[in-house]
Homo-oligomer: A and B are copies of this chain.
Amino acid sequence: MTMDLASDLMAALRAAIGDDFVKQGSDIPVKHWSDATEMTPVCPKALLLPGSTAEVSAVLALCFKAGQPVVIQGGLTGLAAGAQPQEGEIALSLQRLNGIEEIDIESRTMIAFAGTPLHVIHEEAQKVGLHYGVDLGARGSCTIGGNVATNAGGVQAVRYGVTRRNVLGLEAVLSDGTVLTGLNKMLKNNTGYDWPQLMIGSEGTLGVITRVSLSLSPAPPAFQTALCAVSGVADAAAVLGRLEQIFPGRLVTFEGMWREYMDVTAKLGTLAEPFAERPEITLLIEAALGDGQEGQDLLAEALSTLMEEGRVQDAVLAQSLQDRQRFWAYREANYEFHHIMPAGEHFDISLPMNVMDAAIAHMRAATASEMPGSTFIAYGHMADSNLHLAVYPDASANDAAGSKAIVYDAVGMFKGSISAEHGIGMLKRPYLSRSRTPAELALMKSLKQTFDPAAILNRDRIFAAG
């Protein structure tokens, strides 16, 4: 684009949504220079802040005509460099499309604008006795549009599924400005291709989500919390199956922390040991059994049964809110590991439950042999097959980048996923072929071409343009 064309585009964008909402240069807040991936910040060419679906359509139509690449920004909490600007991109932020349009108590649905923070979705549902089933650590700043675009998972997927399961419909704007409105509110609706399903998890590469129609659930009873010691994945899987049998529909959280994770947690020195002996896996379990003694007794009885059956080695129940917070503190200790560990390499993978033990043993052995002195830790949303891994190099080594080959090779070998819930973005693009066949990748590129023929939307995310 020549300078004149570029300035023409800026003038047209300003005319479309107003001078106050097209920012350039030093007027662009630094937070829009990066997402949460910890890459070098890049100032976008401009920041657009449209205030309606019509304005999103207007600015995209202009960028489409100009062949101007656009990076889409929600709450900027992504960890795969999806919303991180590249040189020359214009950033389109959904932050002004913020708020709840409708809560329909009879249909148990909510229609929200894409820029609404997740915690607002939770709070507004709670006010009418309902519940939105996706919850994640970034709830305070991530937005529902970003959650849908990345098919966010989180800590209650064992009960409520990932974001996909909680979305009934969408409104989205295609790269040429076409507005697609499919704000379905019904559980059953088989009327041609369910295009919103393709948009969910497409990381902003197929269109800009502007509104979402969400399915809400009845508010669950209060949660009971426990830590359990188990000897490996087979026992953990058995515990998962038995708990869902004993309390159908009540198990809401089932997280695993492997031995080395608890070793590093112990080194932090802030949390007492939960068990006399450190088990292979420490499970954090929550079940919606109601507060008070009755709920606690139900969980205690179930865990006693599982101990008698030899599946659980030891268990401890939260007796108070303080206990519950302390139990969660083990699971969230990883946020503190950087204080005592060298810079590590972090992963967000899935592995089928039946090969999880073998895959972890393989990666443990490979990091030990190829990266002597390194520390390999595993933890995460075990019931969803979703593990977070980190590999910390020996203090004398430069970095942990070599662990990428070990982990992604193992993911390929065990037919796992290189991205469970964070997405591909620009960060994991080189490894996508470990989880997808050439035929699948070719189809994905055809779909990108169909939706975004000029490749202006989140270019180079998921796969390289051209």
Chain A positions near chain B (C-beta within 8 angstroms): 104-109, 129, 150-151, 153, 157-158, 161-162, 164-165, 174, 178-182, 184-195, 197-198, 200-202, 206, 217-221, 233-234, 237, 241, 244-245, 248-250, 288, 350-354, 381, 383-386, 415-424, 432, 435-437, 439-444, 446-447, 449-450, 462-463
Once the chains bind, are A248 and B221 in contact (CB under 8 Å)?
Answer: yes
B443 touches A180 (CB 8 A): yes
Residues of B within 8 A of A179 (CB): 439
Residues of B close to A449: CB separation below 8 A: 450
User: Which residues of B are found within 8 Å of A384, using beta-carbon distances?
Assistant: 186-188
Q: Beyond A241-B108, A249-B248, is A161–B187 a contact (Cβ under 8 Å)?
A: yes
Copies in the complex: 2
Min C-beta distance of A384 to chain B, whole Å: 4
Residues in B whose Cβ lies below 8 Å from that of A105: 354
Q: A181-B439, A436-B192 are in contact. Are A107 and B418 (CB under 8 A)?
A: no
Q: A194-B197, A435-B189 are in contact. Are A248 and B245 (CB under 8 A)?
A: no
Question: Chain A contact residues: over half helix, strand or loop, or mixed?
Answer: loop
CB atoms of A188 and B219 under 8 A apart: no
A192 contacts B107, C-beta separation under 8 Å: no
The residue on B at minimum CB distance from A179 is B439
Task: Choose from B190, B245, B385, B424 the contact partner of A219 (Cβ within 8 Å).
Answer: B245
Complex-state Cα separation, A350 to B185, whole angstroms: 10
> How far, in whole Å, are A174 and B187 apart by their CA atoms in the complex?
28
CB pair A104 B424 closer than 8 Å? no
- Whether B440 pairs with A190 at a CB distance below 8 angstroms is no
- Find out whether the CB atom of B423 lies under 8 angstroms from the CB atom of A151: no
A449 to B444, CA, bound (A): 14
Find the residue from A190, A233, A241, A384 having the highest chain B CB count within 10 A.
A190
Neighbouring B residues of A381 by C-beta, 8 Å: 188
A260 CA / B330 CA spacing, docked (Å)? 59
User: Are A440 and B188 also in contact (CB < 8 A) when A107-B354, A197-B198, A288-B248 are?
Assistant: no
A104–B414 alpha-carbon span in the complex (Å)? 14
A417 touches B190 (CB 8 A): yes
Q: Which residues of B contact A188 (CB under 8 A)?
A: 153, 157, 162, 350, 381, 384-386, 417, 420-421
